[in-house]
Amino acid sequence: MTLKLSKLHSGDFCQILSYEDDSIATKLISMGLFPQSEVYILNANHRKKVYFLIIGKLKIGLNDNEASSIIVKKLENK
């Protein structure tokens, strides 16, 4: 099932499929959010609209606008 990254919760795993917004896609990829990367959501604070992601050894913080521009596939928790 594909969904926006902003819909996930703390502790979820997902795989990046694509990006909706070209204006930030370049930066997201350059920062290490590559397509097909597996992402662990360390913290998803929907009320405060911030998301703390772990991709391999990389940690990235996103706001809701950025998180909702990433289309992901939810993975079974490891």
Partner 1 sequence: MIRQYTICLAGNPNSGKSSLFNALTGMNQKIANFPGVTVDKKSGKLFMPNGESQTIIDLPGTYSMHAITLDERIFTNIILDKDSDSHPDLICYVINPDQIDKQLLLASQLKDLGIPMIIALSMEDIHKVNPEKITLISNYFDCQVIQFSSRTGSGLTELKLALQSLLESNVSKPNLNNGSKIFKDELTVLGLPFDSDKTVNYSYFLEVLKSEKEHNSSAVLRAEVKDTMERYDNIAGLIHQLRDGNQHIPPIQNRIDKILIHPLYGMVIFSAIMFLIFQSIFSWAEVPMNLLERGFVFFGEVVGTYLPESWFRELLTNGILPGLSGIIVFVPQIFFLFLFISIMEESGYMSRVVYLFDFWMRKFGLNGRSTIALISGGACAIPAIMSTRTISNWKERLITILVTPMISCSARLPVYSLLIVFIIPANLYFGIVNARGLAFLGIYIFSTLAALFAAFVLSKIIKSKEKSQLMLELPNYRMPIAKNVAFNVWDKVKAFITEAGKVIFLISIALWFLTSYGPEKRREAALEAYKTEVKTNPTLVQHQSESSVLLENSFAGIAGQYIEPVIKPLGFDWKIGISLITSFAAREVFVGTLATIYSSQDDDEDTERLSVLLSKQVNPQTGQKIFNVATSASLIMFYMFALQCLSTVAVVKKETNGWKWPIIQLVGYTALAYIVSLITFQILS
What number of residues does the chain have? 78
**Please, which of residues 24-43 interact with partner 1 by CB under 8 A?**
24-32, 34-35, 42-43
The only residue of 5, 44, 62, 70 in contact with partner 1, by rule CB under 8 A: 62
Comparing CA positions, the residue from 39, 75, 74 lying closest to residue 60 is 39
The one among 60, 71, 73, 74 contacting partner 1 by CB under 8 A: 60
Question: What sign has the CA pseudo-torsion 75, 46, 58, 2?
Answer: positive
Q: CB 59 → partner 1: shortest distance, Å?
A: 4
Choose between 1 and 17: whose C-beta lies nearer to partner 1.
17
